[in-house]
Structure 1
Amino acid sequence: MGQLSTLFAPERVAVIGATDSEGAVGRAITENLLESFQGDVVAVNPYQDDVFGLECHDSVADVDDVAIDVGVVVVPPDVAVDSIREAGEAGIRNVVVITAGFGETGSEGAARERALREVAAEYDLNLVGPNSLGIMSTPVGLNATFGNEMAQEGDVSFMSQSGAFVTAVLDWAAERDVGFKDIVSLGNKAVLDESDFVDQWGDDPDTDVILGYLEDVSDGAAFIETAREVTQETPIVLVKSGRTDAGASAAASHTGAIAGSERAYEAGLEQAGTIRVETVQELFDYAQILSDQPLPDGEEIAIVTNAGGPGVMTTDAVGDSGMGLAEFSDHTIEKLSETMPDEANIYNPVDIIGDAPAARFEAALETVLADENVAMAVVVACPTAVLSYEELAAVIVEQQSAFDQPIASTLMGGKSVGDAAPMLNDAGVPTYFDPARAVDSLDALRRYGEIQSREYVEPETFDVDRERARDILEDAAERGRNRLGVEAMDLLDAYGIPTPQGNVVNSPGDAQQIARDIGDDVVMKIVSPDILHKSDIGGVEVGVAPEDVRDTFEDLVVRARNYQQDATILGVQVQEMVDLESGTETILGVNRDPQFGPLVLFGLGGIFVEVLEDTTVRVAPVSEPEATAMLDEIDSAPLLRGARGRDRVDESAIVETVQRLSQLVTDFPAILELDINPLVAAPDGATAVDLRLTIDQEEL
């Protein structure tokens, strides 16, 4: 795949399917290009002599020797692939396929899309679409879309999986003076996808913020790798819509039921360093502040207001965010007491009362911004007869420039705001009617500062017995089994995950011998791929004395047969007892997501996992810092750290187990789901007590 610079900065664009027929998409694209594009436009249509004064060529092969940088394809779907092949043969590197009727329309369209993808690979084409609205790039006036708005120039680049969303955003943005650098309607993403454009815009010095509307991610692992690097310099803000139950309806494990596709997106987009939002308003609120304001050097915020009620609203919004109210220094309190009226509240939030003119805002704002405990500020004002919003805007702009700290403003009101909002926006200071939006936007700055400060650590590769693990999985596949239980505990042992002493046996005598080797009371479990919840049918016995092992073996088999006469009985597991009283039962599991691959889950385990769902997830491979963060994120983390008189568990052992399991499922894509439940965390280590997994036999 070549660089995409000529896609957005072409000198010559060919419209393949140009026409002047009323209502035709080819007409709209040709007109849009002729209206604003600074380069040359070439019309291609074998059925017309000219279009809007442009000579029509029968094909791109008939165009003279001057190179065409971009071909915009808007011909019927049954001839589109041939047109794209002609473009490739003519040396065109960039193709935007507006034509619909491909993968979105059924099997015939899907076949056309496969053919299109093959042609693109053959000629190494940068192909946008198909089923795309088109692309824009404002520096060269490129409007290769059939939308009715040309974007204003700006420093935000925007991609969308919905063409309709692009047209709506452009209409919305035009009313609010929001500008763009590049815009792409992704369409079906047959070739170029979100990762390609993130990579391109990450290298673009004229793109300060990347925005996106996505319904899915084509390759989750590639997106994480690309975005993780780009977000060190350029923020990415995404709306991700659409949820899918792919894989969840057939989930055979706790992890499969809990870690559905939506959680994969949550984890993947967070690991990629993106900021995910829910609304268009948030998308552009965050874009504006990330583009124009400096990053804060902390999370403490100061509020300056002339209105008590809105000040309280703002304080509540801070409490709901990841920020906190700044505690002013004694010097700041003293200075505010000297310069503010006696009725004012000089503690945060600073209420300078309703008769405050712009000069009083200036004195308060200058004082709090000088406080080293203040990382950012929000100014909240309501209109009064003594306050000029234009004068207040000038004060805010001056103070923001003087202290170079992020400020957001809330000028409540309508017509009284007047020219103040444009003054603030021109200076890069965002202003909102709702104080919660101001606080949320500042919190987005804080979050991006945290993302930028992350240090990515490569996942550790442990010395494991991969061949032994492969043998275990292949043996199961050869026997036609796709669901495994404790009989596969050696799989964990091969990857260095501690398991209790024991084995699966097929006779009472062998069971007794294992118990004698262990030398203490044991746990015994029926082993059957047809019986998933063993304890529900009496298939588990705990604390069995060695002399009772023979009888218990027989009892377990009988109970299993009584529950399901035709159940496959693989034997009985005889296992060393693990002290659950001195440990904490956790769960460690994996569910393989269609887009992001293996999703590793950790949380509170045992019988309560599906009730409490106190879990957190990461996309594998998981590094040591990411595994450590997983322990911090669960609500029951205090149970691991000595809460209510419990012994503190060995967290490093859990972290290492998370990494080792992550390596196992990364090495073996055949593992679709896996549960270690419980993973007993104790002061002296972590032990996997039970195992359940599902495999794809065809992947082995």
Structure 2
Amino acid sequence: MGRLSELFAPETVAVVGATDREGSVGRAILENLRSDFEGEVVPVNPDRDELLGMTCYPDVASAPAIDLAVVVVPPPVVVDVLEEIGQEGIGQVVVITAGFSETGGEGATRERRLRELAAEYDLDVVGPNSLGVMSTPVGMNATFAPENALEGSISFMSQSGAFVTAVLDWANDQEIGFRDVVSLGNKAVLDETDFVREWGDDDGTDVVIGYLEGIDDGRAFVDATREVVDDTPIVLVKAGRTDAGAQAASSHTGAIAGSERAYEAGLEQAGVLRAQSVQELFDYARALSGLDVPETDGVAVVTNAGGPGVLTTDAVGDSGLSMASFTDETVDELADAMPEEANVYNPVDVIGDADVERFERALDVVLSDPNVGSAVVVSAPTAVLEYEDLAEIVVEESEIHGKPIVPCLMGGERTDAPAAILREGGIPNYFDPARAVSGLDALSAYRDVRHREVDEPTTFDVDRDRAREILAQAKERDDNRLGVEAMDLLETYGIPIPDGEVVDDPADAVAVAESLEGDAVMKIVSPDIAHKMDIGGVKIGVPDDEVYDAYEDLVSRARNYQPDAQLLGVQVQEQVDLEGTTETIVGMNRDPQFGPLLLFGLGGIFVEILEDTSVRVAPIGEHEASAMVDEIQAAPLLRGARGREPADVDALVEAIQRLSQLVTDFPAIVELDVNPLVAGADGVQALDLVITLDTEKL
């Protein structure tokens, strides 16, 4: 165990605010601790000398040495108690008391003071507003939940205390055990990242699961989880959404890449398996805590019931798995071993009169097939089949072949005894074939997590000082937006841009145009006009002798459209030959929890119409940048589909990485759009730019 070992394995636990009043939280915690805890329980209450037959102490200073303090005093007293705990050198604290930041006002002030004291005295604090913590290896139930947890290898954290009590009640009925259980509460000090690190170091935790409504520091969570998941799978249910996705955004990226997509991207990059329901959360956890990880996605189905076999086949088709294609040798062996009426192709139907020996023979044959990575055994009850015997065969065959078998022994009470046999062998039983397949799907997904390629971000040689000067232009003019006037910013980070300048005089526009090769592209430059094309604020293919008039017309259109708009001039830019190229977009929206969220997709108008995009949390390396390109449905266009000349994908991947470095280097960049980033056979060029800034961070 790590630094939180005393939280989960204390020798002495004090309940500060203990009482014997019926129906009180202080009494419930005291009684829960007394029931099974291997260590000493110390009640603390200045008004009592004895509680429930135990010596009661007036304060923690007068009590015996304490490893863990559980605080359940009224809100105004918590801070004083916490300071006393800190002065006594007690490092682990659980604050049950509510009435902190969740109530606002004075409660938020109390929570700030709590954090300050935790930092001052180096306290590990769970809560406040927590149900408490459990650790079954030492029999500790320091909660006011009505049920204790059964012992197991799943460690569970929840942001909802009510969810913990409901899950414990259900899990006990299902005979699902836990190692540690934590109600996170307000997460004033310890949060989900701390417990991921702790349980990742704990040999007794096989799976970490959690119910979260938010992640306070997404980047830290991703970094911590990446170090854990190679050895310990993590499954989360993420409920709720932040306000970020609903806020008005000034760029395509902000509108498309809302906070929920940040969670999707961040958790995927972290290697977390995300469950969509509580049932799925525990289906995943049960499979991951007891079954071997399959080497391939091929599933064999063995059943004595045609209908459930078809349902299982459908479930495999709906998952990330596939029905295994048996070798000819497997089919021949099955044909020799099964009755003529049996189906020897996948799904294997051993028919309704099958006894346990027939199931055993079929399982042994299919699990020997190299194309089979796992198996589902689906059985309806019959008079000739003993479920207990079948359960023992499933455990034996799984051990012999080293491949996961998920049984679906359908029925009521008759499944209780065989389910216990299976649990003893680390194998869950599912009534619903779809849930059985879901468990296998989780195993396959976790295998992919362990085999995934994680590379460090490339650090390019860039001109940060010049970039900082360009960004400061917005602050100098008391604005928070930059557009094409800041195109040189991209060049400082090695992203090619066409030749050109922003000018505020028609004669200067002519001079710039004459210095360029070929015709010019001219764009109005205004931080107040986001969609220039919509107002005729862009002219393409302007010859030198028309540049003067084009300048005047662009300015006139802008003034007519928005008289109070700030006009910075007109950009005169070399016209890029777009024939044979593909317009893409690379953007960024800074998420409150995960930080810079990169977006890639088709550019121009297609980004809004098709919404064919991929996202990642920056910073990213070459592997993730390449995956962003490959994930969009339009990727074949870039690779040269239907005779098109392939784009320089390597240059595109590098540009994504360079923009990742840019937005990581400058937290002041809140949103960024490079649209379009034109990708052709000879490389990429950025043709337009929109940036929103938090100028206080410049």
Instruction: Identify unmatched segments of 5+ residues in structure 1.
Output: none
Match of 1:231 among 209, 212, 229: 229
- Distance, in Å, in 1 between the alignment partners of 2:416 and 2:137 is 30
Distance 1:514 1:614 in 2: 37
Match of 1:568 in 2: 566
| Kept in 1: contact 2:2–2:202 (CA 8 A) | no
- What secondary structure sits across from 2:271 in the alignment? coil
Say whether residues 1:127 and 2:87 are aligned partners.
Answer: no
> Hey, what does 1:604 align to over in structure 2?
602
Cα distance in 2 for residues equivalent to 1:547 and 1:353? 86
Q: Find the counterpart in structure 2 of residue 690 from structure 1.
A: 688
Matches within 5 A, 1:3-42: 3-42=3-42
Residue 419 of structure 2 corresponds to: 421
Given candidates 630, 633, 656, the residue that maps to 2:631 is 633
**Of 423-432 and 225-234, the range deviating more from structure 2:** 423-432
C-alpha separation in 1, matches of 2:39 and 2:413? 42
**What SS does the aligned partner of 1:672 have?**
strand
**For the Cα contact (< 8 Å) 2:124–2:190, is it kept in 1?**
yes
Name whichever of 658-667 and 331-340 sits farther off: 331-340
1:514–1:574 CA contact under 8 A, matched in 2: yes
Residue among 487, 490, 498 paired with 1:489 = 487
1:147-226 matched pairs, under 5 angstroms: 147-226=145-224
The structure-2 alpha-carbon separation of the partners of 1:418 and 1:107, relative to structure 1 and needing over 3 Å to count, comes to closer
Report the residue type matching 1:426 in the other structure. Answer: E
In 2, the alpha carbon distance for the partners of 1:648 and 1:71 equals 65
Contact 1:2–1:126 (8 Å) recurs in 2: no
> 1:378 and 1:224, CA in 2 relative to 1: closer, same or farther beyond 3 A?
same
Alignment map for 1:88-487 (pairs within 5 Å) = 88-246=86-244, 248-487=246-485
Question: In the alignment, which residue of structure 1 is the partner of 2:548?
Answer: 550
Q: Is the 8 A contact 2:618 2:660 kept in 1?
A: yes
* Cα distance in 1 for residues equivalent to 2:651 and 2:416: 61
The amino acid that maps onto 2:181 is I
The alpha carbon displacement at 1:313 in A equals 1.5
Measure, in 1, the Cα distance between the counterparts of 2:151 and 2:205: 11
Looking at structure 2, the residues matched to 440 and 633 of structure 1 have their Cα atoms a distance apart, in angstroms, of: 24
1:23 and 1:416, CA in 2 relative to 1: closer, same or farther beyond 3 A?
A: closer
Corresponding residue of 1:582: 580
Distance 2:114 2:671 in 1: 35
For structure 2, list consecutive stretches of 5 or more residues without a partner in the other structure. Answer: none
Whether the aligned pair in 2 keeps the contact of 1:152 and 1:178 (CA below 8 Å) is yes
Give 1:517's aligned residue. 515
Distance in 2, matches of 1:137 and 1:2, equals 15
CA distance in 2, matches of 1:506, 1:554: 10
| Paired residue type of 2:593 | Q
Taking the aligned partners of 1:421 and 1:141, their CA distance within structure 2 comes to 25
1:246 partner letter:
A
Change (3 A) 1:418 1:70: closer
Root mean square deviation, CA, Å: 1.3
**Matches of 1:179 and 1:395, distance apart in 2:** 24
Matched residue SS, 2:366: helix
Asked whether the equivalents of residues 508 and 549 of structure 1 are also in contact (C-alpha less than 8 Å), the reply is yes
CA distance in structure 2 between the partners assigned to 1:8 and 1:562 by the alignment: 69
**TM-aligned CA deviation for residue 285 of structure 1:** 1.1
Further displaced range: 411-420 or 569-578: 411-420
Q: Deviation digits for residues 434-472 of structure 1, max 9, x if unmatched?
A: 111111110100111111112321101000000000001
Conservation of the 8 A alpha-carbon contact between 2:148 and 2:168: yes
TM-score, normalised relative to structure 1: 0.98
Once the two structures are superposed, residues 272-324 of structure 1 have per-residue CA deviations (whole angstroms, 9 ceiling, x without a partner) of 11101011111111111111111111111111122222222211211111111
Distance in 2 (CA, whole Å) between partners of 1:129 and 1:588 is 40
**1:55 CA drift (Å):** 2.0
Name the SS for the 2:642 alignment partner.
helix
Note the C-alpha offset of 1:416: 4.0
Distance 2:42 2:355 in 1: 60
CA distance in 2, matches of 1:169, 1:107: 32
Aligned to 1:57, the other structure's residue is in SS state coil
Aligned match of 1:73: 71
| Amino acid in the other structure paired with 2:319 | S
Indicate the larger mover: 576-585 or 455-464. Answer: 576-585
The question of whether the paired residues in 1 share the 8 Å contact of 2:2 and 2:198 is answered with: no
Q: 1:26 Cα shift?
A: 0.7
Work out the CA distance in 1 between the residues paired with 2:323 and 2:680.
Answer: 39
Contact residue 649 and residue 683 of structure 1 kept, 8 A: yes
For the 8 Å contact 1:248–1:256, the answer to whether it is kept is no
Determine helix, strand or coil for the equivalent of 1:365.
Answer: helix
In the aligned structure 2, how far is the partner of 1:352 from the partner of 1:527? 74
Aligned residue type for 1:340: M
**1:2 CA drift (Å):** 8.0
C-alpha separation in 2, matches of 1:669 and 1:181 = 40
Q: Does 1:44 align with 2:44?
A: yes
User: CA deviation digits over 1:384-433, x for unaligned, max 9?
Assistant: 33332222222212211110101111122224434222222221222211
Using the size of structure 2 for normalisation, the TM-score is 0.98
| Local SS of the residue matching 1:419 | helix
In the aligned structure 1, how far is the partner of 2:305 from the partner of 2:54? 62
Of residues 663-672 and 428-437 in structure 1, the stretch that sits farther from structure 2 once superposed is 428-437
Q: Which amino acid aligns with 2:415?
A: V
Whether the 8 Å contact between 1:586 and 1:680 is mirrored in structure 2 is: yes
User: How far apart, CA to CA, are the structure 1 residues paired with 2:512 and 2:438?
Assistant: 61
CA distance in 2, matches of 1:354, 1:639: 52
Q: In terms of mean alpha carbon deviation, does 602-611 or 258-267 score higher? A: 602-611
Structure 1: distance between partners of 2:170 and 2:245: 37
Residue 674 (structure 1) shift: 0.5
2:99 matches 1:85: no
| Cα distance change of structure 1 residues 455 and 519 upon mapping to structure 2, 3 Å threshold | closer
Q: In structure 2, what is the Cα distance between the partners aligned to 1:153 and 1:341? A: 44
Tell whether the 8 Å contact from 2:223 to 2:270 is kept in structure 1 after alignment: yes
- The amino acid of 2:602's aligned partner reads L
In 1, the alpha carbon distance for the partners of 2:168 and 2:414 equals: 27
CA drift at 1:598:
0.4
Distance 2:664 2:229 in 1: 25
In the alignment, the residues of structure 2 paired with residue 25 and residue 585 of structure 1 have an alpha-carbon distance, to the nearest angstrom, of 62
Q: After superposition, give the CA deviation of every residue in 1:231-273 in whole Å (9 maximum; x if it has no partner).
A: 0110001011001222641311110011111111111111111
Contact 1:591 1:598 in 2 (8 A): yes
Letter in 2 for 1:504: V
Judge conservation of contact 2:485–2:502 (CA < 8 Å) in 1.
yes
- Give the share of equivalent positions with the same residue, in percent: 66
SS in 2 for 1:678: strand
Distance of 2:354 and 2:678 partners within structure 1? 62
Distance in 2 separating the partners of 1:680 and 1:45: 71
Name the CA distance, whole Å, in 2 between partners of 1:411 and 1:647.
56
Q: Which amino acid aligns with 1:592?
A: R
SS in 1 for 2:605: helix
| Partners of 2:640 and 2:382 in 1: CA distance | 56
Cα deviation per residue 1:542-579 (whole Å; 9 max; x = unaligned)? 11122211111111111111111121111111112223
Amino acid at match of 2:538: V
**Equivalent position amino acid for 1:144 in 2:** A
Shift of 1:154: 0.7
Residues 245, 260 of structure 2: 8 Å contact kept: no
Return the letter of the residue paired with 2:527: P
